[in-house]
Chain A
Amino acid sequence: MDDAAFWHRLQFAFTITYHYLFPQLTMGLAWFLVYWKWRALRTGDERYAAAARFWAKIFGLTFAVGVVTGIPMEFQFGTNWSGFAKYAGGVVGQTLAMEGMFAFLLESAFVGVLVWGEQRLGPRMHFLAALGVAVGSWLSAYFILVTNAFMQHPVGHTVDGGGVLVIQDLGAYLLNEWALIQFAHNQAAALVTGTFAVTAVGAFYALRGEHTRQASMYLRHGTAVGLVATVLVAFPTGDAQAKIVAKYQEPALAAMEGRFETGPMAEITLIGQPNVKERRLDNPIRLPGLLSFLAYGTFHADVRGLDAFPQETWPTNIELLYYAFHVMAGLGTIFIGLMALGVFQRVRGQLESGRPLLWVLMLAFPFPFIANTAGWITAELGRQPWLVYGLYRTDQGYSTVVSSGDVLFTLIGMAGMYFVLGLVYLYLIGREVFHGPDHPIQPSPYGESAEAKVTIG
């Protein structure tokens, strides 16, 4: 791979990784908002309305950053990956356009209403706005994941006379087996991010002894949903994801596990450092037979190692792929334990008084972001060296007319801007959290307009 391809990849990796920090939180929080709005509507209890109001502010900020960091992504297909846009645009453009038209429009139409429209709309309409935002954001994720699934496991296309991809069967493309599994796995993981954020804020207030009723609610709801979500991430969705990788991307599975040699009773690696030059795993601690079982359902199945594949089909960065996968899987396992402990303490009635656990829950919120990012690194590095798996290589896809210097220029500019954006975001979120949820409805910053007391429905 030459220089330019490296800078193009680094730029895309950076912008998309940064972008995805925000949608995973909004997708995770969206259903909390729907649930609290629904409870507020049914019971009339101010506690639920206050919780929804508080989290809607955090949601709104996160959503805004998600939008501004998301806009460049779509254009990068044209600016930095023009080869890919030419080759696969006729297929992946379908879902990119659908995402914009069906999902994103729905979501952003109602997010302003959700954050600032509580007074203007009745409680019923406001609940519907929350529902619209939640459905829109998850639908958005589905279209994007169909696009990614096509790159991981292309279906529903043909190659036309000019050598570019054309959509053949829209149904097969939209219901790609890979997309369904990836959607389930990814959305469960986004829910984990949301539950850890809710739990962490609850733990923070509980430790400070303020907003106690809200804190108790965040802790209860956060750990309950958290336990379900963390389990769902591992089983059945993570398990299904591993099996589908074993089925369609064998070299990726071998690299994820640092498996250089083929053989039965394949072991799962807990710890170890891949040494690609010597083709072995240094200092390994392994559990025999488990990988065979997880991938193929029997302990004796033969799992092929990297030696079974020609080197030009190996993932290009085996070390990072290996660590990304292990960080994700390791953190996922710890999350289940942590949330199970939280639920256990709650059943014993000691969740809000046990300070050590509250400290852990408060400080744990960054880790789902790390696990989600590691998961995506696993998916995307596992796909290498292909841009569209088995059809189109990554080093064919970038814009040849754009020089490395231009790419680095924009990458540095983007990094600087995103750094400042990140500081501003963290500052504002911190401010909201310190400000707390127990406050009456705030006036909209967009001003109240006298003639605009329109209520619909």
Chain B
Amino acid sequence: MLTMFVVLDGWDIGAGALHFLVAKTDPERRQVIAAIGPLWSWHEVWLVAAGGTFVLAFPELMAVSFSGFYLALWMVLWSFVLRGISIEVGGHINDSLWRSGWDFVFAVSNVLLAVLFGTALGNVIRGVPIDGSGMFSMSLFTDFTARGRVGILDWYTLSVAVFATVLLSAHGATYLRLKTVGPVHERSVRLARLLWPVTAALFVVVSVETSVVRPELFQAMFQRPLAWISVVVIGAAVWALATGLRGRAESRAFAGSCGVIAGLLAGAGASLFPVVLHSTLSPEHSMTAYSGATAERGLRTALFWWPVAVALALTYFFVIMRIYSGKVRPSQDTQGY
């Protein structure tokens, strides 16, 4: 569910973060927004749905982590609000000053979101200072080391944030390459070819760092079948991406890009399991999936309706994708928005 959100909204965020790099003129910027415009709220809905499911399935985990990450989470919320407004409101008045102002808000909030998601992922992998009371509270930064009384930002989470930002940007470029024609398309092609190798290089760096911060994770990874599956998925996705980027197979490249992100998240999840929130203070304070989950009865009740809801949601997804399929061209008339 959360993976679904990251993959879907990832392309909006990535495209948004690249906004000023890819699109130099106003009609071109319109084109980028046009490529994600009709879909953004729908992608964010996955976040709301994931949030609801999260409360349902892991009330305790949600309670502990959200209040612990308090300030960072609010920054995420603000970025979401700003991004939503800038897309919706920016196109309403046909005035270059009005639009360029909102374009700026759009780009900045998207970069912030990518950075914050990376930071969040970094925090989950590194662990948070849960103490004997089962709660934690973190300041934004402490001494930037990744041990003991950590802050939200330290050298490790920052590097994961950089990695995530580049990854999502590459994902966004791949999406724009699929969805656009003209100069935006050309630049997206070049950016995608540049950003994916950088992503790969950063991935190696982050992996090495992870083995320093949490050495036990890699051992766990080799024992879990799900982690193996995710490695296979990533391998296949990288192949699709590489061949897709070299040739003209734009859909294949995009599918590969989605696969890489999904595979990375699944792999990280599988290696962490069953610990969902690792304590940097002492392992026995860590929260596991079992201690964080809701009572079994509640989950079983939810299993009655949840699959139905997911099936419905996927149906909408295909209808919407069908309606909005096809390329977005640079708009010739600037009238009417």
A111 to B40, CA, bound (A): 12
Q: Total A-B pairs in contact (CB under 8 Å)?
A: 264
Known: A410-B74, A445-B336, A447-B30. A100 touches B52 (CB 8 A): yes
Residues in chain A near residue B39, CB distance under 8 A: 112
A232 to B81, CA, bound (A): 35
**A117 engages B323 (CB within 8 Å):** yes
Q: A72, A83, A170, A409: which contacts B301 (Cβ < 8 A)?
A: A170
Known: A93-B294, A105-B313, A108-B42. A78 touches B63 (CB 8 A): yes
Quick check: is B329 within 8 A (CB to CB) of the other chain?
Answer: yes
**B326 engages A454 (CB within 8 Å):** yes
Q: B49, B54, B59, B91: which contacts A101 (Cβ < 8 A)?
A: B49
**B73 engages A75 (CB within 8 Å):** yes
Q: A100, A413, A451, A454: which contacts B74 (Cβ < 8 A)?
A: A413
**A410 engages B71 (CB within 8 Å):** yes
Known: A67-B41, A82-B66, A166-B298. A454 touches B49 (CB 8 A): no
A168 to B326, CA, bound (A): 48
A410 to B73, CA, bound (A): 10
Residue of chain A at shortest CB distance from B316:
A109
Residues in chain A near residue B306, CB distance under 8 A: 97, 101
Residues in chain B near residue A116, CB distance under 8 A: 38
Known: A100-B49, A445-B337, A450-B329. A83 touches B42 (CB 8 A): no
Please report which residues of chain A, range 98-133, place their CB below 8 angstroms from some CB of chain B when the two chains form the complex. Answer: 98-102, 104-106, 108-109, 111-113, 116-117, 120-121
**B85 engages A106 (CB within 8 Å):** no
Quick check: is A1 within 8 A (CB to CB) of the other chain?
Answer: no
Q: B52, B295, B313: which contacts A90 (Cβ < 8 A)?
A: B295
Q: B56, B80, B297: which contacts A168 (Cβ < 8 A)?
A: B297
Residues in chain B near residue A89, CB distance under 8 A: 55-56, 58-60, 62-63, 294
A167 to B327, CA, bound (A): 47
Q: A67, A70, A97, A451: which contacts B327 (Cβ < 8 A)?
A: A451
Quick check: is B97 within 8 A (CB to CB) of the other chain?
Answer: no
Residues in chain B near residue A424, CB distance under 8 A: 85, 89
Please report which residues of chain B, range 42-94, place their CB below 8 angstroms from some CB of chain A when the two chains form the complex. Answer: 42, 44-45, 47-60, 62-71, 73-74, 77-78, 80-82, 84-85, 88-89, 91-93
What is the CB-to-nearest-CB distance from A456 to chain B, in angstroms, rounded to a whole number? 7
Secondary structure call for the B interface: helix
What is the CB-to-nearest-CB distance from A120 to chain B, in angstroms, rounded to a whole number? 7
Quick check: is A80 within 8 A (CB to CB) of the other chain?
Answer: yes
Q: A86, A91, A402, A456: which contacts B60 (Cβ < 8 A)?
A: A86
A78 to B76, CA, bound (A): 14
A88 to B70, CA, bound (A): 20
**B326 engages A449 (CB within 8 Å):** yes
**A402 engages B70 (CB within 8 Å):** yes
Residue of chain A at shortest CB distance from B72:
A79
Q: A83, A101, A170, A406: which contacts B310 (Cβ < 8 A)?
A: A101
Please report which residues of chain A, range 429-448, place their CB below 8 angstroms from some CB of chain B when the two chains form the complex. Answer: 431, 442-448
Most chain A beta carbons < 10 A, residue from B55, B91, B304, B309: B55
**B52 engages A98 (CB within 8 Å):** yes
**B136 engages A401 (CB within 8 Å):** yes
What is the CB-to-nearest-CB distance from A25 to chain B, in angstroms, rounded to a whole number? 16
Known: A75-B66, A82-B66, A83-B63. A93 touches B52 (CB 8 A): yes
**B78 engages A446 (CB within 8 Å):** no
A94 to B57, CA, bound (A): 9
What is the CB-to-nearest-CB distance from B86 to chain A, in angstroms, rounded to a whole number? 10
**A443 engages B324 (CB within 8 Å):** no
Quick check: is B220 within 8 A (CB to CB) of the other chain?
Answer: no
1/0 per residue, CB under 8 A from B, across A404-415: the answer is 001001100110
Known: A68-B85, A86-B60, A402-B137. A446 touches B38 (CB 8 A): yes
Residues in chain A near residue B74, CB distance under 8 A: 79, 410, 413
A62 to B74, CA, bound (A): 23
What is the CB-to-nearest-CB distance from A169 to chain B, in angstroms, rounded to a whole number? 9
A102 to B64, CA, bound (A): 27
**B49 engages A105 (CB within 8 Å):** yes
**B67 engages A399 (CB within 8 Å):** yes
Quick check: is A92 within 8 A (CB to CB) of the other chain?
Answer: yes
**B80 engages A68 (CB within 8 Å):** yes
Q: B52, B312, B325: which contacts A97 (Cβ < 8 A)?
A: B52
**A447 engages B85 (CB within 8 Å):** no
**A68 engages B67 (CB within 8 Å):** no
**A113 engages B331 (CB within 8 Å):** no
Please report which residues of chain B, range 251-301, place their CB below 8 angstroms from some CB of chain A when the two chains form the complex. Answer: 294-295, 297-298, 301
What is the CB-to-nearest-CB distance from B299 to chain A, in angstroms, rounded to a whole number? 9
Known: A109-B42, A445-B34, A456-B319. A85 touches B62 (CB 8 A): yes
A448 to B53, CA, bound (A): 36
Residues in chain B near residue A90, CB distance under 8 A: 56, 59, 294-295, 298
Quick check: is B161 within 8 A (CB to CB) of the other chain?
Answer: no
Please report which residues of chain A, range 351-386, place their CB below 8 angstroms from some CB of chain B when the two chains form the complex. Answer: none
Residues in chain A near residue B38, CB distance under 8 A: 112-113, 116, 446
Most chain B beta carbons < 10 A, residue from A89, A101, A450: A101
A49 to B82, CA, bound (A): 32
Q: A71, A86, A111, A117: which contacts B80 (Cβ < 8 A)?
A: A71
Quick check: is A327 within 8 A (CB to CB) of the other chain?
Answer: no
Quick check: is A74 within 8 A (CB to CB) of the other chain?
Answer: yes
Quick check: is A13 within 8 A (CB to CB) of the other chain?
Answer: no
* 18 residue pairs A–B, Cβ–Cβ below 8 Å: A68-B80, A72-B80, A77-B66, A79-B67, A79-B70, A80-B67, A82-B62, A97-B56, A97-B302, A101-B309, A101-B310, A102-B312, A112-B42, A442-B336, A443-B335, A446-B38, A447-B34, A456-B322
Query: Given A78-B55, A449-B326, A452-B326, 7 more contacts at CB 8 Å?
Result: A79-B67, A89-B63, A97-B56, A97-B302, A100-B49, A102-B312, A167-B298
In the A-B complex, the 9 residue pairs with the smallest Cβ-Cβ separation, listed nearest first, are A89-B59, A78-B66, A93-B56, A445-B337, A100-B49, A452-B326, A97-B52, A82-B63, A101-B309
